[in-house]
């Protein structure tokens, strides 16, 4: 038991010692700062020995000796890492070059601590002057020269450039100190090339350029293979003439098997191996232009040229149609002619003409005549021939115009309503545009319009005051003057006459109505096209009855009326014209039925002939004179004729014609009677 306690005690002591030692190791030093110095200075000349010194300021416990790790950076890229116990370290750049210019930094790492210095710029001035060398200084056109540009001792990525004065000959980037390149001078003619080179190096956003190298003069001798071009009989000919071309070069090169001579016109090669033969062609008008003889030896090409002018034997024919506009059934002529001929070669009668329609021969003549119709429509062209020269005219489209057909006349949105504007359309199914449309009313011109677009329509605004007026309209169409005028049928459309103001009648007479009696309401109109919709209204505009009839009046019976039926009554009427018309209001008073009439009985001394005996003033009484007739619900409402007499209009016959006939009349002898309705 005692041994076990001793082991436990020792283990605990070791743990405490370990923890104390570990904590001491983490706290025995602190990196306070890191600085980078450049010796001898930050800006030096090429070839200077440069040292970069990284120095760390560290706070440490007495007796401690930490390990330092130094890391050097150039332009944020790591250059070197070194572990040591020294408090500073060097990075050496012997014989510095421009390549070494840049931003430098260093860092110090001790254990888990890491600290970096600020960045410091190093600038190295001065690039080496390159040296140019060539393998030969005299050469013939097409030969190559090997040129070498050297920048001995320079480092980094260098861009070399070879130049002939302001002209760059070659450029190449390399990480070596020199560039070697073969250069050719195919386009130099008996001249000296002043060649030199230089190089450049990129330093971030800056580019440093060296001085120019030495200049080497290279003499180039031209190859004498420029051909001579000849043309017979001359460079100015007429269509149909025979042209002969030949190409010749200096005899020194003529027998060279590698020499190639070609005859070229524009982008077309006409002849090869022209050194041994000629090229013949019959001249045409479109053969005018530049002709070249091109001699080729290796990569060298030499040429000479001549301009050929080919004059027309005769001009391109022109096809014309007369007259320019032809209607079907009219006569037309097609002619083919040429304006220019070379009278030194031909006469006008030497030219033969042929007229074609849709590539089919119509006539072997310069003139073609016919009557225009559908089968003569198409594309025409003509051909002229003389001395083997053939020329074609351009195509001309012939299409006979179509005379206008009889126009159709209609209303845009039927039916037509009297005294309301409406649109009339006129249209011909056939006829070449433009077409002139004329709207007439009883042979009097109302308006004219010209239609030039297939999607355009002839439209006229009109108005009638009576149904019979609708047939007075018709239209005319023309597209070739008066001889082409076509007339439409007369306009035939449904016409709606709006309803007139209704005449409202009440039977028995208002003011003479007793409880229990039947009251007949009659609503009639002086005009209006059926069907007619009649509506009757009572007190507070309450609808009583609505009906639709084919006549110009309607009635409604109020059976066994009571005093509660007293009030204002009226009627309304409308038809397809959608114009609502309202009658005047009639006031109805329903009296108590006490078997005593508000009208006095006829005195016994009054004869049966209905003679009215006027009383003396003060003895007022009412006498009714009635001409009895059967009740007819189609009668027109009572209207006020004078201050004292009411008359009724009755419609007989059609709704448009109303005859006036007295139906019922009475004398107003007492002002206590209900007032008549206006």
Instruction: Write the secondary structure of 463-525 as one string of H (helix), E (strand) and C (coil).
Output: CCCCHHHHHHEEEEEECCCHHHCEECCCCCCCEECCCCCCEEEEECCCCCEECCCCEEEEEEC
Under the banding of pLDDT at 50, 70 and 90, the label for residue 3 is: very low
Checking if the pLDDT of 232 tops 90, the result is: yes
What number is the average pLDDT over the span 10-32? 50
- Give per-residue pLDDT as tens, 143-173: 889 999 999 888 888 999 999 988 999 999 9
Residue 171: predicted pLDDT: 93
- Choose between 103 and 664: higher pLDDT: 103
Residue 538: predicted pLDDT: 92
How far apart are the C-alpha atoms of 571 and 198, rounded to whole Å? 115
Residue 187: predicted pLDDT: 58
Give 487's strand partners: 476
What number is the average pLDDT over the span 559-581? 93
What number is the average pLDDT over the span 103-113? 92
Checking if the pLDDT of 93 tops 70, the result is: yes
- Give per-residue pLDDT as tens, 502-529: 999 999 988 889 999 999 999 999 999 9
How far apart are the C-alpha atoms of 279 and 262, rounded to whole Å? 10
Checking if the pLDDT of 324 tops 60, the result is: yes
- Determine if the pTM surpasses 0.85: no
- Give per-residue pLDDT as tens, 404-433: 999 999 999 899 999 999 999 999 999 999
Checking if the pLDDT of 18 tops 60, the result is: no
What number is the average pLDDT over the span 595-601? 41
Q: Among 557, 544, 547, which Cα is nearest to 633's?
A: 557
Least confident of 56-70, 429-443, 552-566, 616-630: 616-630
How far apart are the C-alpha atoms of 4 and 17, rounded to whole Å? 20
Instruction: Supply the DSSP symbol for 258.
Output: T
- Give per-residue pLDDT as tens, 190-200: 578 899 999 99
Least confident of 204-208, 287-291, 592-596, 625-629: 625-629
How far apart are the C-alpha atoms of 406 and 572, rounded to whole Å? 46
Residue 594: predicted pLDDT: 62
Checking if the pLDDT of 83 tops 70, the result is: yes
Residue 624: predicted pLDDT: 35
Residue 251: predicted pLDDT: 64
What residue ranges in 326-457 does DSSP mark as E strands? 331-337, 352-357, 360-363, 367-371, 378-386, 389-392, 396-398, 408-411, 416-417, 422-427, 435-441, 444-451
What residue ranges in 75-156 does DSSP mark as E strands? 77-84, 88-93, 102-110, 113-116, 120-125, 131-134, 138-140, 144-150
- Choose between 141 and 361: higher pLDDT: 361
Under the banding of pLDDT at 50, 70 and 90, the label for residue 1 is: very low
Instruction: Supply the DSSP symbol for 394.
Output: P
Checking if the pLDDT of 600 tops 60, the result is: no
Checking if the pLDDT of 15 tops 50, the result is: no
Checking if the pLDDT of 367 tops 90, the result is: yes
How many Cβ atoms are within 10 Å of 198's Cβ, its own excluded? 20
Instruction: Supply the DSSP symbol for 90.
Output: E
Under the banding of pLDDT at 50, 70 and 90, the label for residue 493 is: very high
How far apart are the C-alpha atoms of 80 and 521, rounded to whole Å? 124
Under the banding of pLDDT at 50, 70 and 90, the label for residue 253 is: low
Checking if the pLDDT of 259 tops 70, the result is: yes
Under the banding of pLDDT at 50, 70 and 90, the label for residue 21 is: very low
How far apart are the C-alpha atoms of 160 and 174, rounded to whole Å? 8
Alpha-carbon distance values, 264 to 124, 300, 421, 616 (Å): 60, 17, 79, 141
How far apart are the C-alpha atoms of 67 and 487, rounded to whole Å? 120
Alpha-carbon distance values, 252 to 221, 249, 299, 557 (Å): 15, 8, 18, 136
The upper half-sphere exposure of residue 212, i.e. CA atoms within 13 Å in the direction of its Cβ, equals 11
Alpha-carbon distance values, 245 to 183, 264, 272, 289, 387 (Å): 37, 11, 12, 14, 22
Q: Among 166, 154, 146, 160, which Cα is nearest to 197's?
A: 160
Mean pLDDT, the chain, whole residue set? 82
How far apart are the C-alpha atoms of 502 and 556, rounded to whole Å? 15
Exposure class string for 417-430: b at 16+ Cβ within 10 A, else e: bbeeebebbbbbee
495 Cβ contact list (under 8 Å, min separation 6)? 415, 416, 417, 418, 464, 467, 470, 529
Under the banding of pLDDT at 50, 70 and 90, the label for residue 186 is: low
What number is the average pLDDT over the span 60-72? 86
Sort residue 621 into left (φ over 0), alpha (ψ -120 to 50) or beta.
beta
């Amino acid at each position: 038991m005692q041994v076990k306690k001793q082991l436990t005690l020792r283990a605990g002591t070791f743990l405490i010692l370990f923890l104390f030692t570990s904590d001491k190791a983490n706290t025995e030093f602190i990196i306070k700062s890191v600085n980078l110095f450049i010796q001898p200075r930050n800006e030096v000349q090429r070839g200077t020995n440069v040292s970069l010194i990284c120095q760390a300021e560290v706070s440490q416990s007495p007796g401690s000796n930490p390990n330092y790790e130094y890391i050097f950076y150039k332009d944020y890229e790591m250059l070197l890492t070194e572990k040591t116990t020294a408090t500073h370290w060097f990075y050496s750049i012997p014989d510095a070059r421009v390549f070494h210019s840049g931003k430098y930094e260093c860092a110090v790492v001790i254990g888990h601590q890491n600290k970096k210095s600020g960045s410091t710029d190093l600038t190295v001035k001065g690039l080496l002057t390159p040296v140019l060398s060539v393998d030969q200084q005299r050469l013939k056109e097409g030969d190559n020269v090997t040129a070498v540009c050297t920048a001995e001792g320079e480092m980094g990525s260098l861009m070399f450039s070879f130049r002939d004065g302001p002209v760059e000959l070659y450029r190449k980037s390399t990480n070596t100190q020199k560039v070697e390149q073969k250069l050719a001078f195919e386009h130099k003619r008996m001249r000296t090339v002043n060649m030199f080179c230089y190089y450049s190096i990129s330093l971030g956003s800056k580019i440093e350029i060296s001085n120019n190298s030495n200049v080497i003069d290279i003499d180039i001798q031209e190859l004498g293979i420029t051909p001579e071009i000849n043309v017979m009989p001359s460079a100015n000919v007429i269509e149909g003439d025979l042209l002969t071309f030949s190409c010749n070069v200096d005899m020194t090169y003529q027998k060279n098997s590698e020499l190639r001579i070609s005859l070229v016109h524009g982008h077309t090669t006409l002849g090869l191996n022209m050194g041994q033969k000629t090229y013949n062609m019959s001249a045409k008008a479109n053969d005018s232009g530049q002709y070249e003889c091109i001699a080729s030896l290796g990569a060298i090409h030499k040429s000479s040229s001549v301009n050929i002018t080919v004059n027309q034997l005769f001009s391109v024919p022109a096809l014309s149609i007369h007259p320019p506009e032809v209607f079907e059934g009219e006569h037309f002529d097609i002619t083919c002619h040429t304006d220019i001929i070379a009278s030194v070669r031909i006469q006008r009668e030497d030219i033969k003409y042929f007229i074609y329609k849709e590539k089919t021969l119509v006539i072997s003549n310069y003139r073609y005549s016919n009557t225009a119709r559908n089968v003569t429509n198409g594309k025409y062209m003509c051909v002229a021939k003389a001395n083997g020269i053939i020329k074609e005219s351009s195509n001309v489209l012939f299409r006979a115009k179509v005379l206008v057909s009889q126009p159709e006349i209609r209303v845009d949105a039927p039916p037509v309503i009297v005294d309301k504007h409406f649109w009339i359309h006129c249209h011909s199914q056939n006829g070449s545009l433009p077409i002139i449309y004329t709207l007439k009313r009883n042979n009097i011109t109302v308006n004219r319009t010209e239609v030039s677009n297939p999607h355009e329509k002839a439209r006229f605004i009109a108005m009638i005051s009576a149904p019979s007026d609708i047939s007075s309209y018709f239209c005319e169409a023309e597209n070739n003057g008066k001889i082409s005028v076509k007339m439409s049928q007369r306009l035939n459309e449904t016409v709606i006459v709006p309803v007139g103001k209704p005449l409202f009648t009440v039977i028995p007479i208002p003011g003479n109505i007793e409880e229990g009696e039947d009251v007949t309401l009659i609503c009639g109109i002086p005009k209006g096209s059926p069907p007619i919709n009649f509506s009757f209204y009572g007190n507070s505009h309450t609808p009583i009855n609505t009906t639709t009839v084919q006549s110009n009046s309607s009635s409604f019976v109020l059976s066994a009326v009571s005093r509660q039926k007293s009030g204002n009554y009226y009627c309304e009427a409308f038809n397809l014209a959608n114009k609502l018309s309202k009658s005047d209001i009639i006031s109805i008073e329903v009296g108590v039925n006490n078997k005593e009439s508000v009208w006095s009985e006829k005195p016994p001394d009054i004869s049966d002939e209905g003679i009215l005996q006027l009383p003396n003033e003060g003895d007022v009484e009412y006498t009714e004179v009635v001409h009895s007739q059967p009740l007819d619900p189609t009668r027109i409402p009572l209207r006020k004729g004078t201050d004292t007499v009411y008359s009724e209009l009755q419609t007989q016959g059609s709704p448009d014609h109303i005859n006036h006939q007295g139906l019922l009349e009475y004398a107003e002898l007492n002002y206590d009677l209900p007032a008549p309705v206006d």
